[in-house]
Amino acid sequence: MDFINFLIQLLNSVQYGLLLFMLAAGLTLIFGIMGVVNLAHGSFYMLGAYLAWSLAALTQSFTMAILIGTVLSVLFGLFLEWLLFRHFYKRDHLDQVLLTFGLIYVFEEMRSILWGDDVHGVTIPDALSASIPLTDTLSYPVYRLFMSGVCLLLALGLYLLISKTRLGMKIRAGAFNHEMTEALGVNIKLIHALVFALGVGLATIAGMVAAPVSSVYPNMGSQVLIMCFVVVVIGGIGSVKGALIAALLVGLVDTFGKVLLPQVAGMLVYVLMALVLLYKPEGLFKN
Amino acid sequence: MSDTRAPLETLPRSLNILLALALLTLAAFPFVGTDYYLQVVTRMMILAIFAMSLDLLQGVTGLVSLGHAAYFGVAGYALAFFTPAGEPISLWWSLPAAVGVSALLALIIGFLVVRTHGIYFIMVTMAFSQMVFYAFFDNKALGGSDGVYINFKPEAMLFDLENKTTFYFFTLAMMLVVYLFLRRLLWSPFGRALSGIRVNEHRMRALGFGTFGHKLAAFTLAGALAGLAGYLWGAQSGYVNPELLGFHMSAHVIMMVILGGMGNFAGAIVGAFSFEYLLHLFKDLPEIAGFHLGKHWQLWMGLFIVALVILAPRGILGLFATLLKSKETGHE
């Protein structure tokens, strides 16, 4: 592999890692703060992609699609939290697994009824459709850089929100000691609802931003969900920093695995997880 | 983890009588049922063995495995690769060998996963089974995404498994043997130790039990029994594909155990039968006003699961026990 190819693969792996981080961050926050296993998290990614596709067709503008889609997904997250998840924070993990598995089926069929079972493409907006030429034959699409940029910005925003704002302080306090935080007068229910909606929002944005590259298809949430589980396990539950590092690591292993060892590429990430588990059963960054 | 749902270990006598009647019905069924329904019920019994194997982990030991299908599917694949192209394979060595393959896989994965707890255990079992899934899905040598055909049913010499009625009774016998074995195990010192681990693992360790070894043994045994079910599945359907190892299969079997009621193995059987019945029911829903209800069976199944978790967390047998209000329950 020469340097240019290496560079392209490296950019791809970082972009994939950052995308995984967007999903894993929400997942790990919801795990860490509310103690909920959410198997349906991948469905939000799918929802995002389908929203991007239908809203872009409706409004004729990718930017508008993303803005409206984000608002809709946050509202949807708040609604779901109010209707179902709120009642499951204190329940057994088994109940949570069942509930969210049932929701996967519900979401998949709602998708099938609303949007059909066909594969769709989303066109890249004109402003971002260019490619940066690297050599005579190889180039790198601007849109992929844009994706990485969006993800990085959101990761930075998330970091600032959690570690520098008053709301973030309350979130961290709630994760640390639920009852004590509530006793101090913090509306923990509202915090939970916001964290859940934040997780849904991040996953949906990831889906919307990824739609032009990955295209939009049924069951697109399942595979990405399992990758996110791996990221969360490697990073350590509840740790956003861990999720970021683990996501980049998984992105690297997966992308370079596919190029260098295509025969076993599907398994490499899980081997990585097994190795981490052997030495650090609670992930790299235990919270 | 809060123990909101103490599993029902002892069944009230009235429930035991009902179960015995159900067994008699199963034994009499081949004399009245058609070939098609014979196959449907055989499949239900195979899934019942699978569900019982998971119940050992989920209901007894308190380990929620979201990757149990891996051990089920691998034994089916083992049968597929053991069977030569032109002739059947002997049941007497291929069955133990396939079960052994599953047990070995469960031992290796179990060694890594039983050291984790709670949410980690759920996610890690799922991820490892996904690894097994991709090992088969990505490799043409292992059948790839299309799967592998098994042209001949295993050859048993004493009886003919190609005969659907014989296969039915063989599966029924297997189900009964597994049930009696697991019931016996539940009340053995080993089974009591597993129950203790579910209730309070730290205390068990303080009492001097090596909980790692106990959990690993339970995980391996559950894998082996899942393998028995997978072998029978492969033999019955004559075809294995990666879906048997997949995430949905794992989630379905969890649901079967919950649906019936955990921790007593009878519930797993009831759950497997009910779940398969519901699946058929939802898939056969009619078309109303141009909207094909049966095509969207996942929606009804999904809503049913959500309703089940909210309304009846102790499953069908739990409901029965509550309705019967027997004094024999609440043993613990």
Mean pLDDT rounded to a whole number for chain B: 88
- Residue B77 contacts residue B148 (beta carbons within 8 Å): yes
CATH number at residue A8: 1.10.3470
Two tokens at A174? 């709630």
Site of tokens 């002739």: B87
Q: What is the ipTM of this complex?
A: 0.85
Mean pLDDT, rounded, for A104-130? 87
- What is the model's pTM? 0.89
Examine residue B332 and state whether it is found in any structural domain, yes or no.
Answer: no
DSSP B203-257: HHHHTT--HHHHHHHHHHHHHHHHHHHHHHHHHHHSEE-GGGGSHHHHHHHHHHH
Two tokens at A133? 């030429």
Number of domains chain A is built from: 1
The amino acid occupying position A191 is I
Per-residue pLDDT reduced to its tens digit, A88-99: 888 888 889 999
CA neighbor of B127 nearest in space, from A267, A254, A281, A14: A267
Report CA B50 to chain centroid distance, whole Å: 2
Per-residue pLDDT reduced to its tens digit, B141-199: 888 888 999 988 888 888 888 889 999 999 999 999 999 999 999 999 999 999 999 99
- Residue A228 contacts residue A23 (beta carbons within 8 Å): yes
pLDDT of residue A136: 76
Examine residue B331 and state whether it is found in any structural domain, yes or no.
Answer: no
Examine residue A37 and state whether it is found in any structural domain, yes or no.
Answer: yes
Examine residue B8 and state whether it is found in any structural domain, yes or no.
Answer: no
DSSP A190-201: HHHHHHHHHHHH
Categorize the per-residue pLDDT at B288 as very low, low, confident or very high, splitting at 50, 70 and 90. confident
- Residue B264 contacts residue B11 (beta carbons within 8 Å): yes
Examine residue A284 and state whether it is found in any structural domain, yes or no.
Answer: no
Sign of CA dihedral B170, B176, B181, B182: positive
Supply the range of the domain harboring residue A192. Answer: 3-279
Residue A232 touches partner B, C-beta closer than 8 Å: yes
Selected residue with higher pLDDT from B61 and B295: B61
Number of domains chain B is built from: 1
Q: Would you call B122 and A31 a contact, using CB atoms and an 8 Å cutoff?
A: no
- For residues B158 and A178, give the distance between their C-alpha atoms in angstroms, rounded to a whole number: 64
Two tokens at A14? 């970082």
Strand partners, A141: A131
Examine residue B7 and state whether it is found in any structural domain, yes or no.
Answer: no
Examine residue A287 and state whether it is found in any structural domain, yes or no.
Answer: no
- Nearest beta carbon to residue B122 from set A97, A99, A230: A97
Per-residue pLDDT reduced to its tens digit, B99-135: 999 999 999 999 989 988 888 898 889 888 988 998 8
Categorize the per-residue pLDDT at B34 as very low, low, confident or very high, splitting at 50, 70 and 90. confident
Quick one: closest CA in B to A112, which residue? B296
Q: What are phi and psi of B312, to 5 degrees?
A: -135, 70
Examine residue B297 and state whether it is found in any structural domain, yes or no.
Answer: yes
Examine residue B79 and state whether it is found in any structural domain, yes or no.
Answer: yes
Examine residue A286 and state whether it is found in any structural domain, yes or no.
Answer: no
- Residue A216 contacts residue A207 (beta carbons within 8 Å): no
CA neighbor of A254 nearest in space, from A12, A2, A1, A6: A12
DSSP state of A216: B
DSSP B101-122: HHHHHHHHHHHHHTTS-HHHHH
* Percentage, residues of chain A above pLDDT 70: 99
Residue A83 touches partner B, C-beta closer than 8 Å: no
The distance between the two most distant Cα atoms of chain A, rounded to a whole number of Å, is 65
- Nearest beta carbon to residue B130 from set A106, A226, A271: A226
- Nearest beta carbon to residue A281 from set B58, B116, B122: B116
Question: Which residues of chain B neighbour A233 with C-beta distances below 8 Å?
Answer: 120, 123-124, 127
- Residue A150 contacts residue A88 (beta carbons within 8 Å): no
Sign of CA dihedral B228, B233, B236, B240: negative
CATH number at residue B82: 1.10.3470
Examine residue A92 and state whether it is found in any structural domain, yes or no.
Answer: yes
Question: Which residues of chain B neighbour A91 with C-beta distances below 8 Å?
Answer: 2, 4
Site of tokens 């205390």: B203
Categorize the per-residue pLDDT at B62 as very low, low, confident or very high, splitting at 50, 70 and 90. very high
Examine residue B218 and state whether it is found in any structural domain, yes or no.
Answer: yes
Site of tokens 């339970």: B218
- Residue B233 contacts residue B167 (beta carbons within 8 Å): no
Examine residue A285 and state whether it is found in any structural domain, yes or no.
Answer: no
- Residue B195 contacts residue B60 (beta carbons within 8 Å): yes
Supply the range of the domain harboring residue B41. Answer: 13-324
Examine residue B2 and state whether it is found in any structural domain, yes or no.
Answer: no
